[in-house]
Amino acid sequence: MKTINDFNFKDKRALIRVDFNVPLTNEFEVADKSRIEGAKPSIIKVLEDGGSAILMSHLGRPEGKEEKYSLKHIVNAVSDVLGVKVKFVEDCVGKEAEKAASEIHPGEILLLENLRYYPEEKKGDDEFAEKLSKLGDIYINDAFGTAHRAHASTTVVAKYFEDKAMGLLLQKEIESLDKVLNSTEKPVTAVLGGAKVSSKITVIENILPKVDHLIIGGGMAFTFAKAQGGSIGESLVENDLQELALDILIKAEAQNVKVHLPVDSVVTQEFDNDAETKIEAINAISEGWMGLDAGPQSREIFAKVIAESKIILWNGPLGVFEMDTFSKGTIALGEEIAKATEQGAFSLVGGGDSVSAAKQFGFDKKVSYVSTGGGAMLEMLEGKSLPGIDALK
Protein backbone atom coordinates (compact mmCIF):
# COMPACT_ATOMS: atom_id res chain seq x y z
CA MET A 1 0.00 0.00 0.00
CA LYS A 2 1.35 3.42 -0.92
CA THR A 3 1.74 6.32 1.48
CA ILE A 4 1.61 10.00 0.67
CA ASN A 5 5.44 10.08 0.79
CA ASP A 6 5.53 7.85 -2.32
CA PHE A 7 4.28 10.77 -4.42
CA ASN A 8 5.57 14.13 -5.47
CA PHE A 9 2.68 16.58 -5.71
CA LYS A 10 4.35 19.25 -7.84
CA ASP A 11 1.58 20.86 -9.92
CA LYS A 12 -0.84 18.16 -8.75
CA ARG A 13 -4.10 18.54 -6.90
CA ALA A 14 -4.39 16.17 -3.93
CA LEU A 15 -7.97 15.27 -3.08
CA ILE A 16 -7.64 14.54 0.64
CA ARG A 17 -10.36 12.94 2.77
CA VAL A 18 -9.74 14.42 6.20
CA ASP A 19 -11.65 14.03 9.45
CA PHE A 20 -12.73 17.56 10.33
CA ASN A 21 -15.72 16.35 12.31
CA VAL A 22 -14.81 18.76 15.10
CA PRO A 23 -16.92 19.87 18.07
CA LEU A 24 -18.41 23.37 17.68
CA THR A 25 -19.52 25.77 20.42
CA ASN A 26 -22.95 27.47 20.35
CA GLU A 27 -21.20 30.40 18.65
CA PHE A 28 -19.88 28.02 15.94
CA GLU A 29 -16.29 28.26 17.11
CA VAL A 30 -14.14 25.12 16.90
CA ALA A 31 -13.95 23.83 20.49
CA ASP A 32 -11.14 21.32 19.89
CA LYS A 33 -8.74 21.66 16.96
CA SER A 34 -6.89 18.38 17.45
CA ARG A 35 -8.47 16.71 14.41
CA ILE A 36 -7.39 19.61 12.22
CA GLU A 37 -3.89 19.43 13.69
CA GLY A 38 -3.89 15.69 12.99
CA ALA A 39 -4.39 16.30 9.27
CA LYS A 40 -1.78 19.05 9.06
CA PRO A 41 1.35 17.01 8.24
CA SER A 42 -0.22 15.46 5.12
CA ILE A 43 -1.55 18.79 3.85
CA ILE A 44 1.78 20.54 4.43
CA LYS A 45 3.64 17.76 2.60
CA VAL A 46 1.47 18.36 -0.49
CA LEU A 47 2.00 22.12 -0.37
CA GLU A 48 5.75 21.83 0.18
CA ASP A 49 5.99 19.58 -2.87
CA GLY A 50 4.44 22.40 -4.89
CA GLY A 51 0.95 20.98 -5.12
CA SER A 52 -2.50 22.07 -3.97
CA ALA A 53 -4.89 20.42 -1.53
CA ILE A 54 -8.63 19.92 -1.94
CA LEU A 55 -9.99 18.92 1.47
CA MET A 56 -13.22 16.99 1.97
CA SER A 57 -14.87 15.99 5.24
CA HIS A 58 -18.16 15.44 6.95
CA LEU A 59 -19.36 17.37 9.99
CA GLY A 60 -21.99 15.94 12.32
CA ARG A 61 -25.12 14.21 11.11
CA PRO A 62 -27.03 16.75 9.04
CA GLU A 63 -30.50 16.00 7.77
CA GLY A 64 -30.43 17.75 4.43
CA LYS A 65 -28.38 20.91 4.10
CA GLU A 66 -28.67 22.16 7.69
CA GLU A 67 -26.63 25.34 8.01
CA LYS A 68 -25.38 24.53 11.49
CA TYR A 69 -23.37 21.67 10.00
CA SER A 70 -21.77 23.79 7.28
CA LEU A 71 -17.98 23.51 7.07
CA LYS A 72 -17.87 27.25 6.48
CA HIS A 73 -17.85 27.56 10.29
CA ILE A 74 -14.41 25.96 10.48
CA VAL A 75 -12.63 27.75 7.60
CA ASN A 76 -10.89 30.24 9.92
CA ALA A 77 -9.80 27.54 12.36
CA VAL A 78 -8.37 25.45 9.50
CA SER A 79 -6.54 28.53 8.13
CA ASP A 80 -5.14 29.23 11.62
CA VAL A 81 -3.86 25.72 12.18
CA LEU A 82 -2.38 25.35 8.69
CA GLY A 83 -0.99 28.89 8.53
CA VAL A 84 -2.43 29.30 5.02
CA LYS A 85 -5.63 31.12 4.07
CA VAL A 86 -8.07 28.40 3.11
CA LYS A 87 -10.61 28.87 0.31
CA PHE A 88 -14.11 27.49 0.69
CA VAL A 89 -16.72 26.34 -1.82
CA GLU A 90 -20.37 25.88 -0.86
CA ASP A 91 -20.74 22.46 -2.43
CA CYS A 92 -18.68 19.29 -2.59
CA VAL A 93 -19.67 18.06 -6.06
CA GLY A 94 -21.00 19.57 -9.28
CA LYS A 95 -20.22 22.64 -11.36
CA GLU A 96 -19.36 25.07 -8.58
CA ALA A 97 -17.05 22.63 -6.81
CA GLU A 98 -15.38 21.61 -10.10
CA LYS A 99 -14.84 25.25 -11.05
CA ALA A 100 -13.27 26.05 -7.67
CA ALA A 101 -11.06 22.96 -7.83
CA SER A 102 -9.91 23.79 -11.38
CA GLU A 103 -8.94 27.34 -10.36
CA ILE A 104 -6.77 26.29 -7.43
CA HIS A 105 -3.03 27.05 -7.71
CA PRO A 106 -0.01 25.30 -6.23
CA GLY A 107 0.36 26.20 -2.56
CA GLU A 108 -3.39 26.78 -2.14
CA ILE A 109 -6.00 24.89 -0.14
CA LEU A 110 -9.67 24.49 -0.95
CA LEU A 111 -12.17 23.17 1.59
CA LEU A 112 -15.35 21.59 0.22
CA GLU A 113 -18.77 21.82 1.86
CA ASN A 114 -20.00 19.00 4.14
CA LEU A 115 -20.03 15.67 2.28
CA ARG A 116 -23.03 14.51 4.32
CA TYR A 117 -25.24 17.22 2.82
CA TYR A 118 -25.68 14.46 0.24
CA PRO A 119 -27.21 11.17 1.47
CA GLU A 120 -25.21 9.52 -1.33
CA GLU A 121 -22.06 9.94 0.79
CA LYS A 122 -23.10 7.49 3.51
CA LYS A 123 -24.73 5.17 0.98
CA GLY A 124 -21.37 4.81 -0.77
CA ASP A 125 -23.01 5.90 -4.02
CA ASP A 126 -20.92 5.25 -7.13
CA GLU A 127 -22.05 8.24 -9.15
CA PHE A 128 -21.44 10.61 -6.24
CA ALA A 129 -17.98 9.12 -5.70
CA GLU A 130 -17.17 9.60 -9.38
CA LYS A 131 -18.19 13.25 -9.14
CA LEU A 132 -15.87 13.71 -6.17
CA SER A 133 -13.03 12.09 -8.09
CA LYS A 134 -13.16 14.88 -10.70
CA LEU A 135 -11.83 17.33 -8.12
CA GLY A 136 -8.28 16.01 -7.77
CA ASP A 137 -5.41 14.15 -9.48
CA ILE A 138 -4.26 11.98 -6.56
CA TYR A 139 -6.53 10.61 -3.82
CA ILE A 140 -5.31 10.60 -0.22
CA ASN A 141 -7.26 9.13 2.66
CA ASP A 142 -6.18 10.60 5.99
CA ALA A 143 -9.48 10.17 7.85
CA PHE A 144 -8.81 7.30 10.24
CA GLY A 145 -11.98 8.06 12.22
CA THR A 146 -14.17 7.04 9.27
CA ALA A 147 -11.90 4.40 7.70
CA HIS A 148 -14.25 1.66 8.99
CA ARG A 149 -17.09 3.06 6.87
CA ALA A 150 -17.59 2.19 3.22
CA HIS A 151 -18.74 5.69 2.34
CA ALA A 152 -18.32 7.39 -1.04
CA SER A 153 -15.45 9.68 0.03
CA THR A 154 -13.68 7.19 2.30
CA THR A 155 -13.79 4.07 0.14
CA VAL A 156 -15.70 4.11 -3.16
CA VAL A 157 -13.93 7.17 -4.60
CA ALA A 158 -10.57 5.35 -4.50
CA LYS A 159 -11.44 3.14 -7.47
CA TYR A 160 -11.58 6.19 -9.76
CA PHE A 161 -7.93 6.98 -9.09
CA GLU A 162 -4.83 5.37 -10.50
CA ASP A 163 -2.76 7.25 -7.89
CA LYS A 164 -3.96 6.84 -4.31
CA ALA A 165 -2.37 6.54 -0.90
CA MET A 166 -2.84 6.83 2.80
CA GLY A 167 -2.01 10.06 4.55
CA LEU A 168 0.49 10.43 7.36
CA LEU A 169 -2.15 10.25 10.11
CA LEU A 170 -3.63 7.03 8.77
CA GLN A 171 -0.12 5.63 8.46
CA LYS A 172 0.70 6.54 12.07
CA GLU A 173 -2.48 4.89 13.36
CA ILE A 174 -1.70 1.66 11.51
CA GLU A 175 1.95 1.68 12.58
CA SER A 176 1.04 2.28 16.24
CA LEU A 177 -1.36 -0.62 16.30
CA ASP A 178 1.14 -2.80 14.49
CA LYS A 179 3.73 -1.94 17.13
CA VAL A 180 1.37 -3.29 19.78
CA LEU A 181 -0.07 -6.34 18.05
CA ASN A 182 3.06 -7.55 16.29
CA SER A 183 5.63 -6.56 18.83
CA THR A 184 8.91 -8.39 19.25
CA GLU A 185 9.42 -6.65 22.60
CA LYS A 186 7.86 -8.22 25.67
CA PRO A 187 5.89 -8.21 27.89
CA VAL A 188 2.87 -6.89 26.02
CA THR A 189 -0.04 -5.85 28.23
CA ALA A 190 -3.59 -5.02 27.19
CA VAL A 191 -5.91 -3.23 29.59
CA LEU A 192 -9.53 -3.66 28.67
CA GLY A 193 -12.14 -1.79 30.65
CA GLY A 194 -15.43 -0.14 29.93
CA ALA A 195 -18.98 -1.17 30.48
CA LYS A 196 -19.70 -4.47 28.82
CA VAL A 197 -18.08 -7.77 27.96
CA SER A 198 -20.35 -8.04 24.91
CA SER A 199 -18.82 -4.97 23.23
CA LYS A 200 -15.23 -6.17 23.84
CA ILE A 201 -15.52 -9.90 23.36
CA THR A 202 -14.18 -9.93 19.79
CA VAL A 203 -11.33 -7.66 20.84
CA ILE A 204 -10.40 -9.99 23.70
CA GLU A 205 -10.44 -13.06 21.48
CA ASN A 206 -8.38 -11.36 18.78
CA ILE A 207 -5.68 -10.00 21.06
CA LEU A 208 -5.22 -13.04 23.31
CA PRO A 209 -2.58 -14.63 21.06
CA LYS A 210 -0.65 -11.33 20.97
CA VAL A 211 -0.36 -10.36 24.63
CA ASP A 212 1.38 -11.63 27.76
CA HIS A 213 -0.87 -9.88 30.28
CA LEU A 214 -4.53 -8.99 30.08
CA ILE A 215 -5.98 -6.64 32.68
CA ILE A 216 -9.76 -6.73 32.71
CA GLY A 217 -11.44 -3.86 34.57
CA GLY A 218 -14.54 -1.68 34.56
CA GLY A 219 -18.08 -3.00 34.49
CA MET A 220 -16.89 -6.00 32.48
CA ALA A 221 -15.04 -7.48 35.45
CA PHE A 222 -18.25 -8.30 37.35
CA THR A 223 -19.45 -10.79 34.75
CA PHE A 224 -16.15 -12.63 35.33
CA ALA A 225 -16.44 -12.36 39.12
CA LYS A 226 -19.99 -13.74 39.10
CA ALA A 227 -19.06 -16.53 36.69
CA GLN A 228 -16.36 -17.56 39.17
CA GLY A 229 -18.99 -17.89 41.88
CA GLY A 230 -18.67 -14.46 43.51
CA SER A 231 -21.45 -12.27 44.91
CA ILE A 232 -21.49 -8.99 43.02
CA GLY A 233 -24.55 -7.27 44.50
CA GLU A 234 -26.17 -4.88 42.04
CA SER A 235 -23.05 -4.44 39.89
CA LEU A 236 -23.30 -4.40 36.12
CA VAL A 237 -23.48 -7.96 34.79
CA GLU A 238 -24.26 -9.81 31.58
CA ASN A 239 -25.62 -13.07 32.91
CA ASP A 240 -25.75 -14.78 29.53
CA LEU A 241 -22.02 -14.18 29.04
CA GLN A 242 -20.79 -15.91 32.19
CA GLU A 243 -19.89 -19.09 30.39
CA LEU A 244 -18.07 -17.13 27.74
CA ALA A 245 -16.15 -15.31 30.47
CA LEU A 246 -14.95 -18.63 31.93
CA ASP A 247 -14.10 -19.81 28.45
CA ILE A 248 -11.90 -16.73 27.93
CA LEU A 249 -10.03 -17.50 31.16
CA ILE A 250 -9.41 -21.09 30.02
CA LYS A 251 -8.25 -19.96 26.58
CA ALA A 252 -5.96 -17.39 28.15
CA GLU A 253 -4.34 -19.96 30.38
CA ALA A 254 -3.84 -22.31 27.45
CA GLN A 255 -2.06 -19.50 25.60
CA ASN A 256 0.06 -18.54 28.58
CA VAL A 257 -1.64 -15.16 28.98
CA LYS A 258 -1.84 -13.95 32.56
CA VAL A 259 -5.26 -12.46 33.25
CA HIS A 260 -5.53 -9.88 36.04
CA LEU A 261 -9.00 -9.17 37.34
CA PRO A 262 -9.80 -6.65 40.08
CA VAL A 263 -9.86 -8.16 43.56
CA ASP A 264 -11.72 -5.29 45.22
CA SER A 265 -14.09 -2.54 44.22
CA VAL A 266 -15.37 0.88 45.29
CA VAL A 267 -19.02 0.12 45.97
CA THR A 268 -22.06 2.31 46.47
CA GLN A 269 -25.83 2.03 46.72
CA GLU A 270 -26.54 4.88 44.36
CA PHE A 271 -25.23 5.88 40.96
CA ASP A 272 -24.31 9.29 42.31
CA ASN A 273 -21.09 11.23 42.81
CA ASP A 274 -22.06 12.18 46.39
CA ALA A 275 -23.24 8.75 47.44
CA GLU A 276 -21.68 6.92 50.39
CA THR A 277 -18.96 4.47 49.31
CA LYS A 278 -16.94 1.64 50.82
CA ILE A 279 -14.40 -0.91 49.60
CA GLU A 280 -15.43 -4.53 49.25
CA ALA A 281 -13.88 -7.69 47.83
CA ILE A 282 -15.02 -8.13 44.23
CA ASN A 283 -16.51 -11.54 45.04
CA ALA A 284 -18.27 -10.47 48.24
CA ILE A 285 -20.21 -7.32 47.41
CA SER A 286 -23.15 -6.69 49.74
CA GLU A 287 -26.67 -6.98 48.48
CA GLY A 288 -27.98 -3.64 47.27
CA TRP A 289 -24.45 -2.32 46.56
CA MET A 290 -22.71 -2.02 43.21
CA GLY A 291 -19.07 -1.71 42.20
CA LEU A 292 -18.27 1.41 40.19
CA ASP A 293 -14.47 1.58 40.36
CA ALA A 294 -11.36 -0.55 40.93
CA GLY A 295 -10.44 -0.73 44.62
CA PRO A 296 -6.99 0.12 46.09
CA GLN A 297 -5.67 -3.45 46.10
CA SER A 298 -6.64 -3.91 42.45
CA ARG A 299 -4.93 -0.65 41.55
CA GLU A 300 -1.74 -1.92 43.16
CA ILE A 301 -1.85 -5.23 41.29
CA PHE A 302 -2.46 -3.45 37.98
CA ALA A 303 0.33 -0.95 38.72
CA LYS A 304 2.88 -3.76 39.14
CA VAL A 305 1.90 -5.34 35.82
CA ILE A 306 2.08 -2.00 34.01
CA ALA A 307 5.46 -1.15 35.56
CA GLU A 308 7.07 -4.22 34.01
CA SER A 309 5.37 -3.92 30.60
CA LYS A 310 7.23 -2.83 27.49
CA ILE A 311 4.15 -2.48 25.28
CA ILE A 312 0.80 -1.29 26.63
CA LEU A 313 -2.58 -1.06 24.96
CA TRP A 314 -5.33 0.70 26.90
CA ASN A 315 -8.94 0.48 25.88
CA GLY A 316 -11.73 1.39 28.28
CA PRO A 317 -11.88 3.02 31.73
CA LEU A 318 -11.60 1.03 34.97
CA GLY A 319 -14.63 2.68 36.51
CA VAL A 320 -17.31 5.30 36.02
CA PHE A 321 -14.65 7.94 35.41
CA GLU A 322 -17.24 10.56 34.50
CA MET A 323 -17.92 10.91 38.25
CA ASP A 324 -15.08 12.13 40.45
CA THR A 325 -15.79 9.62 43.19
CA PHE A 326 -15.38 6.68 40.81
CA SER A 327 -12.51 7.99 38.70
CA LYS A 328 -9.61 7.04 40.99
CA GLY A 329 -8.93 3.63 39.46
CA THR A 330 -8.82 5.04 35.95
CA ILE A 331 -6.57 7.93 37.05
CA ALA A 332 -4.19 5.58 38.91
CA LEU A 333 -3.91 3.35 35.86
CA GLY A 334 -3.28 6.37 33.59
CA GLU A 335 -0.52 7.55 35.92
CA GLU A 336 1.16 4.15 35.88
CA ILE A 337 0.98 4.00 32.08
CA ALA A 338 2.44 7.52 31.90
CA LYS A 339 5.28 6.45 34.20
CA ALA A 340 6.01 3.29 32.21
CA THR A 341 6.01 5.37 29.01
CA GLU A 342 8.52 7.77 30.49
CA GLN A 343 10.72 4.77 31.23
CA GLY A 344 10.66 3.62 27.64
CA ALA A 345 7.50 1.55 27.20
CA PHE A 346 5.32 2.11 24.14
CA SER A 347 1.73 2.92 25.08
CA LEU A 348 -1.30 3.21 22.83
CA VAL A 349 -4.66 4.48 24.03
CA GLY A 350 -7.61 3.97 21.76
CA GLY A 351 -10.98 2.61 20.89
CA GLY A 352 -14.39 3.71 22.14
CA ASP A 353 -14.42 5.95 25.18
CA SER A 354 -10.83 5.67 26.37
CA VAL A 355 -9.66 8.72 24.48
CA SER A 356 -12.07 11.04 26.31
CA ALA A 357 -10.91 9.59 29.64
CA ALA A 358 -7.27 10.11 28.62
CA LYS A 359 -7.96 13.69 27.55
CA GLN A 360 -10.03 14.51 30.63
CA PHE A 361 -7.15 13.59 32.93
CA GLY A 362 -4.35 14.88 30.71
CA PHE A 363 -2.83 11.47 29.91
CA ASP A 364 -3.13 12.12 26.19
CA LYS A 365 0.16 14.06 26.41
CA LYS A 366 1.91 11.39 28.49
CA VAL A 367 1.33 8.24 26.46
CA SER A 368 3.10 7.30 23.23
CA TYR A 369 0.06 7.54 20.99
CA VAL A 370 -3.63 8.35 21.30
CA SER A 371 -5.72 6.99 18.48
CA THR A 372 -7.95 9.49 16.67
CA GLY A 373 -10.60 6.95 15.74
CA GLY A 374 -12.73 5.25 18.39
CA GLY A 375 -14.80 2.91 16.24
CA ALA A 376 -12.11 2.40 13.60
CA MET A 377 -9.53 1.44 16.24
CA LEU A 378 -11.95 -0.98 17.91
CA GLU A 379 -12.58 -2.70 14.58
CA MET A 380 -8.84 -3.02 13.95
CA LEU A 381 -8.41 -4.48 17.44
CA GLU A 382 -11.12 -6.95 16.53
CA GLY A 383 -8.94 -8.05 13.64
CA LYS A 384 -11.27 -6.67 10.96
CA SER A 385 -9.90 -5.02 7.87
CA LEU A 386 -11.17 -1.50 7.29
CA PRO A 387 -12.84 -0.70 3.94
CA GLY A 388 -11.18 2.72 3.75
CA ILE A 389 -7.75 1.09 4.01
CA ASP A 390 -8.56 -1.86 1.74
CA ALA A 391 -9.67 0.56 -0.98
CA LEU A 392 -6.14 1.96 -1.18
CA LYS A 393 -4.55 -1.39 -1.89
Q: Which residues are catalytic?
A: 35, 196, 352, 375
219 in contact with ligand AMP (CB under 6 A): yes
- According to the binding rule CB under 6 A, does residue 266 interact with ligand AMP? no
For ligand AMP, the closer CB: 124 or 352: 352
SS3 92: coil
Q: Is there binding between residue 195 and ligand AMP (CB under 6 A)?
A: yes
Q: Is 382 near ligand AMP (CB under 6 A)?
A: no
Among 195, 196, 143, CA closest to 171 = 143
From the CB of residue 89, how many other CB atoms can be counted at a distance below 10 Å?
22
Residue nearer to ligand AMP on the CB measure, 114 or 315 = 315
Closest CA to 386 of 146, 197, 202, 226: 146
Interface with ligand AMP, residue 348, by CB under 6 A: no
State which H helix or E strand residue 252 sits in: helix 242-254
Residue 316 binds ligand AMP, judged by CB under 6 A: yes
Q: Which is nearer to ligand AMP, 98 or 234 (CB)?
A: 234
- Three-state DSSP class for 53? strand
Give the list of residues 6+ apart from residue 169 with CB closer than 8 angstroms, or none: 38, 39, 41, 42, 142, 144, 372
Short-list 157, 179, 224, 233, CA closest to 197: 224
Q: Specify the pairing of strand 86-89 against strand 52-56.
A: unpaired
Is residue 381 at the binding interface for ligand AMP, with CB under 6 A as the rule? no
Please provide the distance, in angstroms rounded to a whole number, between the alpha carbons at the two ends of the chain: 5
Least distance from ligand AMP to the Cβ atom of residue 324, Å:
12
Question: What span, in angstroms and rounded, lies between the C-alpha atoms of 168 and 175?
Answer: 10
262 binds ligand AMP (CB under 6 A): no
Determine which residue in the list 353, 364, 368, 382 makes contact with ligand AMP, applying CB under 6 A. Answer: 353
Q: Among 319, 334, 350, 387, indicate the residue that binds ligand AMP (CB under 6 A).
A: 319
Among 87-95, 98-106, 142-150, 188-196, which window interacts with ligand AMP (CB under 6 A)? 188-196
User: Which of 175, 240 has the CB closer to ligand AMP?
Assistant: 240
One residue of 18, 100, 215, 236 binding ligand AMP per CB under 6 A: 236
Which residue type, as a one-letter code, is found at position 36?
I
CB of 271 to ligand AMP, least distance (A): 8
Q: Using CA of residue 136, residue 140, residue 145, residue 147, what is the dihedral sign?
A: positive
198-217: contacts with ligand AMP (CB under 6 A): 199
Closer CB to ligand AMP, residue 199 or residue 297?
Answer: 199
The footprint of ligand AMP (CB under 6 A) covers 194-196, 199, 218-219, 236, 291-292, 316-317, 319-320, 322, 352-353
